[in-house]
Every structure is written in structure tokens, then in C-alpha cells.
Amino acid sequence: MITRRQFTRFGAAAAVAAAVQPADSLLADWTHRIQGSSALPGSFGDVAGARSLRAHAWRHGLIFGSAVIVRNVEDDPEFAELIAEQCVIVVPTSELKWVALRPAPDKYDFSRPDFLLAFAQSHRMLMRGHTLCWHNSVPEWIQSPANRPHTRQIFIDHITTVCKHYAGRLHSWDVVNEAILPADGQPGGLRKSFWYEQIGPDYIELAFRTARAADPHARLTYNDYGVEYDSEEDAERRSLILEMLRKLQKNNVPLDAVGIQSHLKAVQHYAFGKGLADYIEAIRQMGLDVYLTELDVNEDDIATNDPAERDAIIARTYTDYLRVALANRAVKLVLTWDLSDRFTWLNNGPTHHRKQPNRPQRSLPFDRNYRPKQAFFALRDSFDRRRR
Ligand code: XIL
């Protein structure tokens, strides 16, 4: 087993703080650096090396990064170093959601996401925002009888304030997250969320228009799950999402990219295949980019307890998925949902993802001690196999 120290080519000292740059110019900077990758200065040194996922991704036209719980970057220098070494982009897992940002009607708490943006900029990394609108993060105060009638205005004010706060400094925003749920029986398969019920189905286009007006630079993304497999259920979700996207485009709603969450399962009856490939191609033909936004592998259903065997199955799942997803040039961005098993939401998040609470999941490229696992090499090799 390789130790973390042996693996790391650059210590914290190599992380040279840079002047604050807007997201667009940072992205241009990365492009420029990689094109002349033989003579790279200090903080870009490992772009040319063999050890970082970001280097392997970038050479094949991909931005690689990870979601992080901001507190972990603040508290754990070794983890912060791993993130800076492996990622071009970071996204806070929950710190930009309504419940975290809006403890009270008149209060915005930007402290944690601001910390992450400063960290990203000091390492010349990008940050993306997640998310301006999600059914699962609706503060209780908005739902009070006094505030309910003002939901539309509160929604507009929130998106405006948050987007303006970061204007020009984020790579992209997940503007609307998980708006489709056919089981709710609404027209177009729209989820019966708080926003849907209070504002109406046009809350989606309202969110995109408001975000664009407040930050013309961030790439605006629609993000959803349940589209990855060749199952009937995923096929239905794909066609409903495409229908919704076409409607948005027809109404000239500003939209730049579509996020495929990519929460995969190690044991799954269905394959990754034509359904996913056609979905990505349909999005490409609409002139939109595709981002794989929350990649990880839920391994709860693997029968064996042997870590090496489990790691091999997990790695194969990444490989099988990326073989299909990365074949299309529309895919520009890959983010794992955290980078180390120590912090995966599958061990710490909602309990329906934890069928085996006594067997912590090994879902991510790095183990609990930040050592690369088979999944790391699966990602690296998948990036390398992509045609330039
Ligand atoms: C998750 C976070 O990672 C957890 O910490 C939190 O408890 C619940 O939310 N899809 C999404 C993300 O779009 O926002 C979710 O993040 C994971 C599923």
C-alpha cells in the first residue's frame, strides 16, 4: 500500500498563494498552463505529473474536482492539501443551501462558503455553487403563515443576493436541483416541492432568469439524479428532464449546462449504456454542456466484506460508468461527492443510504487515511482513455 506521504509530491509549501482572480480568467489560466505543460511554474507543477486526478482529467479536456464539507478543509490541513493537490474545482456540499445560508429571514451567513472560495482562490482553483433551489433545504421560517404569502419575493431576493455576493467568482451554479419526480403526479413530472406549490411551475425559469441577472458569468446548471441507468424508471426521468429543458430553451431561459449527479450503485441490475449515451447526446445537441456533479459509488449491497474485493467492484463501477459518460465531448466537468471515505455522506448522511451501518462505505477514490484506492486508478485511467 502506498503511504499518503509517498503519494504526495508537493507539500503544503508548494501551495503558493495567488492574487484573487475572477473565475473566467482562472479557467483561461488553466487552459494556458496545460497547453505549455512542459515548463510549469510552482503551484501548477503537478499538472504535468502523474499523481493528480486533475492533471489526468485536464489533459483530456476535463475539469476534475470534488465536493467538500467546508469544516474539514478548515480543520484538517492534510485533507486540505489533498484537495489542493487533486482538484481544479471545489463545491461546498451543503454550506450554500438555504438552511445553512439563511438562519433567519434577515440573515445571510456566508462565512463557510467564503472560506472555501478564499481557499480555492489561494490555490488557483475554481469553485462552483450548490444550490440556489432544492426541495430538501427550505428553512422553517419561510414556511410560517406570515412568510408563506411572500415566498416568490423571498425566493427572488435570496437568489439575487447570493448570486451577487459571488458574481464573477464562481465557475457555475446548480440553479435548480432535483425538480423532477414523476411519482408526484404533476404535469411534466415536476416535483411537488415547497417552491412548486408556493410559486407555481414557473419557479424554475424564475430561478434561472434571476441568477443570470445577478451573475452574468457563472454557468447556470440544471442538476438531477436518476438518469444514469438503462432502466425504465431512469428512461422516464430522462425524457421528462429533456422535455423540461426544451421548454426552458424555447422560452429563452438562460441555461448553460446540465448536471448528472452520478450517485452510482456497485450492485445494480441495470447497465450504463444507450440510455445514458443518448441523454448526453441530446443535451449536447441542445448546445448545452454536461457536468458529472456528484459522482460516488454506494457499495452497501456488495455481499463480501473483504475490502480488496469491494474496492475492485467499486472501481469497476466507476470504469463502466465513465466509459459511457466520457465518450461524449459535451461532458466537461467531473466532481466526486467528497474525495475521501472518511467524509462520504453515505456514511454520515441520511440513513436510507446506510443499510449496513457497521460496515463503513468505501465509495470514493481515497480511503479514510487519504491513500489512493483502486477507485482512484479507475478514475485516472478513465480520464486517460478519453480521446483528446
Ligand atoms: C447531501 C450532503 O452531502 C449531506 O451532507 C446532507 O446531509 C444531505 O445532502 N444530492 C444532492 C446533494 O444534490 O445536495 C446531497 O448532498 C446529496 C444528494
Sign of CA dihedral 321, 323, 329, 332: positive
Name the CATH architecture for the domain at 4-385: Alpha-Beta Barrel (3.20)
Ligand 1 touching residue 367 (CB < 6 A): no
Query: What are the E-state strand segments in the chain?
Result: 63-68, 89-92, 126-127, 129-130, 172-177, 219-224, 257-260, 263-265, 289-298, 331-336
Q: How far is the CA of 67 from the centre of ligand 1 (A)?
A: 10
Q: What is the mean pLDDT of each run of 10 residues along the chain (388 residues)?
A: 44 39 76 46 40 90 97 97 96 98 97 98 96 98 95 98 97 98 98 98 98 97 98 98 98 98 97 98 98 97 96 98 98 98 89 77 96 96 88
Atom in ligand 1 nearest the alpha carbon of residue 263: 18
Is the CB of residue 205 below 6 angstroms from any atom belonging to ligand 1? no
DSSP states of 61-105 as a string? T-EEEEEE-HHHHHH-HHHHHHHHHH-SEEEESSTTSHHHH-SBT
**Which pLDDT does position 57 carry in this prediction?**
94
Name the residue ranges covered by the structural domains of the chain.
4-385
pLDDT given for residue 355 in this prediction: 76
CA–CA separation, 61 vs 177, rounded Å? Answer: 25
Q: Is 36 in the pocket of ligand 1 (CB under 6 A)?
A: no
User: What are the φ/ψ torsions at residue 52 (nearest 5 degrees)?
Assistant: -110, 145
Q: In whole angstroms, give the CA distance from residue 81 to residue 367.
A: 15
Instruction: Identify the pLDDT of residue 326.
Output: 98
Ligand 1, pocket-test mutation among 91, 135, 339, 345, most atoms within 8 A of CB: 345
Residue 73 near residue 91, CB atoms below 8 Å: no
Please state the φ and ψ torsions of residue 126, each to the nearest 5 degrees: -95, 160
Give the count of beta carbons closer than 10 Å to the beta carbon of residue 84: 24
Q: Is 93 close to ligand 1, i.e. is its CB under 6 Å away?
A: yes
For ligand 1, whether the C-beta of 94 sits within 6 Å is yes
> 67: which 3 cell numbers?
465536493
Give residue 50's pLDDT: 55
- pLDDT for res 211: 98
What distance in Å separates the CA atoms of residue 104 and residue 17, rounded to the nearest whole number?
Answer: 35
For 241-271, give the DSSP string. HHHHHHHHHHTT----EEEE--EEESS-SSP
